[in-house]
Chain A
């Protein structure tokens, strides 16, 4: 499908990441937005509020983030592509209903413009400290998709992809921006609508009495066909463990089936979901793994290291979750060491270590947040890793 031209502001713009993200949502076909103001994400909501009236969308400012995410789930079942935007404290409040979204297989997008934490932390300054929360923040076993843009252009492009993945796999997709990327202004090129690929959820259109809301065959990536409220199927949706009918069933067998399918539909489609960027990996002794704003600071450190004769490659996570395990394992066979650069005191580095499983050294370039790394600090760690 091509994008609805009403939402697409074709042209070259000078935008910050937050505004670019809003434009990405509009281009992707987002027509319901519920949110609550929180620094440094508010500009996304503001732009949506100003743009929606003339593109047929409904914006509502809710009373809190608990309400925002609940309304987004409702909006999605009402038939609209739906999104909310927040930052750390609001993200914490949304966790329970992100789980409801996972369990009920509700397509939606949640953007987190990350700031320094814990708690109120650093409202106006950057962090990348919610990366593990993105993966594990809601209770129970599940898989989720989280993507990490590193520029305003990617805030636009990846927000569209977030919607597409969410529609395709019927799962909340998290866009894990950071304050720097959200507030940095760069050129953003928005292509004509007919060049923007959008994916719309697959809807059931069979006989009314035969609809099983959670039935899957193997043709659709283990993703069931959706129906919207008002379509006439009169279906049931619950956060309880449920069978194909969507009816609650409280036993270990149905639990096993229900939860493992939620996990499989992501884990068995990683080749379709995962994206990353590589640079000079082939002959590298050391590979820097990084994402978001940290990847841009790391590039400077990598250049300095190369000038000093070191063979350093870059592996940039575009998809943080599911983690690109397969590719990291291949690289681990050939290199001496990995350096993880992230704006926290160690989060994605644990997943990296798990995948590498001792096959190569792993070093962390930590930072508590509030600013970005100094490239020379990263350089020092690269040099140690190269020894």
Chain B
């Protein structure tokens, strides 16, 4: 009899299981979609690097059997920028949470998108800081209860697809932990797209966000997604704000072309230096990055 094996053991660090995530947490589902997308995109696993910051989602890098970097809070994007520019052959994915990427790391997010650095940013949004016990963050809808908004959040939250598009991302989508197939497809498209690609993954945090707001368990949250989701690929990203228990518009919103940082650098220097300049990295890729 052959021993049962996990279908993803070539891509997950099985020697690190069990993972730290709670039952019903959406991160595991997002990781499954990520692993499937890596296979679908047919990128050699040896050429992929994944970078995370800090937080529950920040632990993703540590479970991927890839070159994986668990960095500091907020700095996954600039770390990934250095990695990609130093070795343009790599496919680089930043996988981290909303607090990490959009609050403490928000400045890096907009600038990497503006420069169109050829990296993929997969941002899991569970509307709160989970690792530290469920505090409010830049995505917490008004008036959700968190430990630091005990009377209900009253700050206006970011709409991440709008921020990403406005900053210059060439690929922008939003899906939820319920939409495994569509999320996988979208991540695959992002991986194959050259330039700064952004995928937002709305996911349940039953232990903290749902519990404090008396929203039930992980399954309840998926039911809410099921009932309130509107799929609209043509949606205007200005209209994608998420209110408390309100409808969530998902879709593949943006897919456009713009020279990447490396393309622009090579074009400029070739114009200036002519034949003396040896283009850095690979200028054009046949399929994907």
Most buried by B among A54, A77, A236, A247: A236
User: For residue B47, which residue of chain A has the nearest CB?
Assistant: A230
Question: Which residues of chain B are near A234, meaning CB under 8 Å?
Answer: 45-46, 65-68
A100-B72 CB under 8 A given contacts A56-B278, A63-B111, A230-B90 = yes
Q: For the complex, give the distance between the alpha carbons of A233 and B85 in Å.
A: 20
Whether, in the assembled complex, A385 has its beta carbon less than 8 Å from a beta carbon of chain B, the answer is no
Question: Which residues of chain A are near B193, meaning CB under 8 Å?
Answer: none
Q: Give the interface residue-count category, chain A.
A: 35 or more
Q: Is the interface of A mostly helix, strand, loop or mixed?
A: mixed
Question: Which residues of chain B are near A230, meaning CB under 8 Å?
Answer: 46-47, 49, 67, 87, 89-90
Smallest distance from the beta carbon of A45 to chain B beta carbons, Å? 15
For window 61-110 of B, CB contacts with A under 8 Å fall at 61-62, 65-72, 74-75, 77-87, 89-90, 107-108
Whether, in the assembled complex, B13 has its beta carbon less than 8 Å from a beta carbon of chain A, the answer is yes
A32-B82 CB under 8 A given contacts A53-B277, A100-B71, A239-B72 = yes
- Contact A79–B87 (Cβ < 8 Å): yes
A70's partner among B49, B68, B75, B87 (CB-CB below 8 A) is: B75
Q: Is the interface of B mostly helix, strand, loop or mixed?
A: helix
- Contact A58–B72 (Cβ < 8 Å): no
A63-B87 CB under 8 A given contacts A70-B78, A232-B46, A235-B67 = no
Question: Which residues of chain B are near A64, meaning CB under 8 Å?
Answer: 107
As a 0/1 sequence over residues 63 to 78 of chain A, the CB contacts with chain B under 8 angstroms (1 = contact) are 1101110111111111
For window 143-167 of B, CB contacts with A under 8 Å fall at none
- Contact A54–B273 (Cβ < 8 Å): yes
A contact residues vs B (CB 8 Å cutoff): 31-32, 34, 53-54, 56, 58, 60, 62-64, 66-68, 70-80, 82, 96-97, 100, 228-240, 245, 247-248
B contact residues vs A (CB 8 Å cutoff): 13, 15-16, 45-47, 49, 51, 61-62, 65-72, 74-75, 77-87, 89-90, 107-108, 111, 261, 265, 269, 272-273, 276-278, 280
* Selected A-B contacts with CB under 8 Å, 10 pairs: A34-B82, A53-B269, A63-B108, A74-B69, A74-B79, A78-B82, A100-B75, A230-B87, A231-B67, A236-B13
